Structure 1
Amino acid sequence: MAGSRITYRVPYAGLVDVLRMQASTSSFNPPQASITNGSISVFQDVPADVLERDRGNIVTALKAEIDKIETYLKYSRSDIATANEQLRTGVRGAAAARRTKVLADRETEAILGVPLHRDQEAAKTYRVQPVTRRRITPTRQIRPHQPFAPEPAITPEDFAYIIGDIVAATRMFERLAVTYADQREERLRDQILTVLHSIYGAATGETFSKRGKTDIYLPWDGGAVFLAECKWWSGPKNFAEHDLPQLLDRYITWRDTHAAMVVFIRNKNATAVIAEAENIVRSHPRYLRDAHSINGTPTFVTHKDGDRDREITLALVTVAIHE
C-alpha cells in the first residue's frame, strides 16, 4: 500500500529495565515503543492520502506517545524512590540489630583476667570482718555508638571492694584525728596508697594521666582500671570549680570507667559538708544519675565530656578528721 512510516526516536540514559517495568500506577492503554541501544522509537504507518491531508495530527499523536512514556516514567520514579527509602531503612535496621547482637556476643567473650588480686592477710589488717581473697577481673566496656573496642574495666563488685578498702583505711584517720588533722593531703594519700598496694599489689601514686598526675592509680594494660584524687575540703566554690573538675576534666581519660573523689573534712559540721559535696556532684554538667551506694558511700554515674555513651562511675568518699 502506498504510504509512509513516520518514526520518532528519542535518546535515553539510565537502566533500560525501567522502561519495561509496570509501575503501581498504570492504565489499560500503556505507551508502545521500540527500545534500541540508547534510544526509544515510536512509529506510525500512514497511507499516502491520509498523510497528505492530516500530517499535523499524525506528528502530534507521535509526540503524545512520547509524553505518555514520560508520564509512565514518572510513576516508576516515584515507586523506585519509595522502594529505595524502604530499602535504606530496612538495611539500617538490620545492620543495627546485627551490630547490637555482635557487640553483645563479644562483650560476653571479651573478659580479661587482670592480675589484680586482693591479698587476704593484708585486707584483714584494715577490716573488722575477715575478707575472702578475690581476684579483680576487669571486663570489657561496650558502648552502642562506637566501633567495637573492648576496654579493660573492673566489675561493679571489684569497684565496691576497692572503695570498701579505701573507706576502711580512712577510718583510722577519723579514729586518730589528733595525728592526722594537720597532715597534708599527700601524706594521707600515701597512707591509702599503702593499703591498696598491699592488697592489690599494683597501686601507684602521682601517676601521669591525661593532663596531670592523679593521686591513686590502679594500672592495667597501659591504662587504668581505677583512679582517685584526694583533697582537703576548702569550701563549696573550690570543690565545684577546682577539685571535682580536676579529676573529671584533667585526669580521667575517654577510656577510664571507675574513679573516686576522696574528700578530707576538718569542719565540725561534716554532715552538712557531705550533703553539699553530693549536691555539687549532682549539679555538675556531666552528672547523669545516682548509682547504688557502696556501704553508705554515695556513688554517681557521670559521662565523658561530649560523649554521653562513655559513662564513668564516681564514688565520693568523705573522711571527717577534726579534733
Structure 2
Amino acid sequence: MEDEISQLTSDELKNSTDSLSLIFASKYTPAQITLHDPIKEDGGEVERDVSHRQDLMILDRSTPTYKTYKRIKVRLPFDGDRDLLKIRPGKHNLNPPTYASLKSNEIVYYAEYSADKDPDEIADKIQNEIENWVEDVEWYIEQLNTSIRKMESRMEQKARRAIERRRDTEDTHQQVMEVLDVDDGSTTDVGYVSPEKKRNIELPSQDEDSSIEVMPDQTFTEVLEVINDLGVNLQRSADRVRDLDEESLRDIFLMGINSHYAGLATGETFNRGGKTDILLRYENRNLFVAECKFWKGQSVYTDAIGQLLGNLTARDTHAALLVFSNRTNINTVRDRVGTATDHHDQYVTELPDFTDHNVYRFELENGTPVKIAVKVFDLQ
C-alpha cells in the first residue's frame, strides 16, 4: 500500500486525504464476512463405527461395528473470502465451530440422528443442534469481523500518514517547479474535496403531522453532495479501485458519510424487507437508505430498484441507489438507467428541483411516495 501511495500523482493528490485514506484502507483490507440464513436439506445416510460407544450393547469391540445414521445437511451461505474463515480472530475460544466442508460461498454441516427414536424428539434435538451450531458460527464470524474492522482502522491511519508524506514530497516538488518557472502540466482542481466539519441535522418535531417527511430535502441534498464528492474521487482513482467489490465500495461511502454525520450511518442493517447497504439514522428515525450495485444490465438494475423499495418502510422518504460501471461505456449506462427507471412499475416522475442530482419519485406498494436518487459512477 505504501509503495502505491508513494506513486500518487499531483492530480490524484488533489483528492482529500480523508477520501484517499478511505480508498486505500478499503482496497488493502479484506471485506467483512456476511452470513445468510441457513438452508436445510436431506443429507442422506452415513455409516459410523460405533464400537467405542459404551452406551450400546456390542459383543465384540475388537472389530468395527457399523450403524446407519440419517443426516440433515445444513448449508450456511456467506459473502466474503473463504480463506478468512481459516484464520483465528483476535478474540476466540478453544472450541471453534466445526463443519463438514468449507466451499467458496457456503459452510456445510451435517446433523446426524438415529431413526429408532420418537420423531418429535429427534426433530427437537436436531433443531437445537443446528441452532447452537449457527450461533457458534455467528459468534466466530463477529469476532473475525471485529478484527477486520480494527485492521481497516489501522490501515486508514497508516494510509493517512503515507499520503501526507507523499503530499509533502509533491508540495516541495511544486515549489521547486515554481521557483524555476517550469510548467508542470497540472490540471485544474475539479474533483478536489476538502475535509469538512461535522454537519448538523435538524428534524421536524415528532409531534407534528405524521405526513411530514422525516428528512428535510436540504439534508437529503447535503448527503447527495457528500456522495457526489466521494464518487468524483473514486472516478479520479478508477485504476486503483476498479477491482474493489461492492462491499468495499460501500464501506468507502459509509465512512465518508460518517465523517460528515458523526458516525450515524451503519452498513448491512436490517430494515423492513432485508438488509440495507447504508442506513443513516438520527434520534431513532431513519433518514436515508442507500444500496450499492455494479451495473450488470437493465434487468439487474430494475431488480435493484425493487430491492431498495422493498427495504423501505412507510416512514423512509429519502433513498439512493449507487451504481458502479467498470466495463460498459458510462454514457450507455446512464442512458439505460434512465430508460429502466422510466419503465419501472413504481416510478412516478422525475423531480427537477434537485439540481445536479437525478432524483425521482417512486411509490411504495402501499402508495407512500418516496424520493430516490440514482447516482452512476464510472470506474473504468
With normalisation by structure 2, the TM-score equals 0.46
Match of 1:320 in 2: 378
Match of 2:295 in 1: 233
What secondary structure, in the 3-state scheme, does the structure 2 residue paired with 1:227 have? strand
| 1:214 aligned onto 2:279 | no
What secondary structure, in the 3-state scheme, does the structure 2 residue paired with 1:153 have? coil
What secondary structure, in the 3-state scheme, does the structure 2 residue paired with 1:136 have? coil
Q: For residues 260-283 of structure 1, give each alpha carbon's deviation from its aligned partner in whole angstroms, at most 9, with x where no partner exists.
A: 000001134111111211221221
1:6-155 correspondence to structure 2 within 5 Å: 128=193, 134-139=199-204, 148-149=209-210, 153-155=214-216
Q: 1:311 aligns with which of 366, 369, 374?
A: 369
Q: For residues 275-316 of structure 1, give each alpha carbon's deviation from its aligned partner in whole angstroms, at most 9, with x where no partner exists.
A: 211221221122111112645321101112131xx2111000
Which structure carries more helix by proportion? 1
Contact between 1:141 and 1:150, CA under 8 Å: does it hold in 2?
no
Match of 1:179 in 2: 240
Letter of the 2:294 counterpart: W
Contact between 1:214 and 1:227, CA under 8 Å: does it hold in 2?
yes
| 1:264 aligned onto 2:324 | yes
Q: CA shift at 1:138, angstroms?
A: 2.4
Q: CA shift at 1:177, angstroms?
A: 1.1
Cα distance change of structure 1 residues 223 and 196 upon mapping to structure 2, 3 Å threshold = same
What secondary structure, in the 3-state scheme, does the structure 1 residue paired with 2:321 have? strand
What secondary structure, in the 3-state scheme, does the structure 1 residue paired with 2:266 have? coil
How many residues matched? 189
Q: CA shift at 1:153, angstroms?
A: 1.5
CA distance in 2, matches of 1:138, 1:248: 23
What secondary structure, in the 3-state scheme, does the structure 2 residue paired with 1:314 have? strand
Query: What stretches of structure 2 of length at least 5 have no aligned partner?
Result: 1-190
1:234-253 correspondence to structure 2 within 5 Å: 234-240=296-302, 242-249=303-310, 251-253=311-313
Letter of the 1:222 counterpart: N
Cα distance change of structure 1 residues 128 and 294 upon mapping to structure 2, 3 Å threshold = farther
CA distance in 1, matches of 2:195, 2:318: 25
What secondary structure, in the 3-state scheme, does the structure 2 residue paired with 1:277 have? helix
Match of 1:102 in 2: none
What secondary structure, in the 3-state scheme, does the structure 2 residue paired with 1:292 have? coil
CA distance in 2, matches of 1:299, 1:141: 26
Q: CA shift at 1:223, angstroms?
A: 3.3
Cα distance change of structure 1 residues 138 and 152 upon mapping to structure 2, 3 Å threshold = farther
Cα distance change of structure 1 residues 152 and 306 upon mapping to structure 2, 3 Å threshold = closer
Q: CA shift at 1:139, angstroms?
A: 2.8
CA distance in 1, matches of 2:298, 2:375: 16
**Root mean square deviation, CA, Å:** 2.5
Q: For residues 47-82 of structure 1, give each alpha carbon's deviation from its aligned partner in whole angstroms, at most 9, with x where no partner exists.
A: xxxxxxxxxxxxxxxxxxxxxxxxxxxxxxxxxxxx
CA distance in 2, matches of 1:222, 1:263: 28
Query: What stretches of structure 1 of length at least 5 have no aligned partner?
Result: 1-125
RCO higher in structure (CA 8 A, sep ≥6): 2
Q: For residues 219-247 of structure 1, give each alpha carbon's deviation from its aligned partner in whole angstroms, at most 9, with x where no partner exists.
A: 1343311010000011111111x211110
Q: For residues 143-172 of structure 1, give each alpha carbon's deviation from its aligned partner in whole angstroms, at most 9, with x where no partner exists.
A: xxxx95366622111111100101101112
Match of 1:24 in 2: none
Letter of the 1:215 counterpart: D
What secondary structure, in the 3-state scheme, does the structure 2 residue paired with 1:205 have? strand
CA distance in 1, matches of 2:378, 2:355: 17
CA distance in 1, matches of 2:219, 2:192: 16
Q: 2:349 aligns with which of 289, 293, 313?
A: 289
Which of 1 and 2 has greater Rg?
1
CA distance in 2, matches of 1:140, 1:236: 40
What secondary structure, in the 3-state scheme, does the structure 1 residue paired with 2:358 have? strand
Q: CA shift at 1:130, angstroms?
A: 8.1
Q: CA shift at 1:255, angstroms?
A: 1.1
CA distance in 2, matches of 1:196, 1:129: 14
CA distance in 2, matches of 1:131, 1:265: 28
- The percent of aligned pairs where both chains have the same amino acid is 29
Contact between 2:278 and 2:291, CA under 8 Å: does it hold in 1?
yes
What secondary structure, in the 3-state scheme, does the structure 2 residue paired with 1:219 have? strand
Contact between 2:199 and 2:260, CA under 8 Å: does it hold in 1?
no
Letter of the 1:275 counterpart: D
Match of 2:92 in 1: none
Q: 1:197 aligns with which of 247, 250, 258?
A: 258
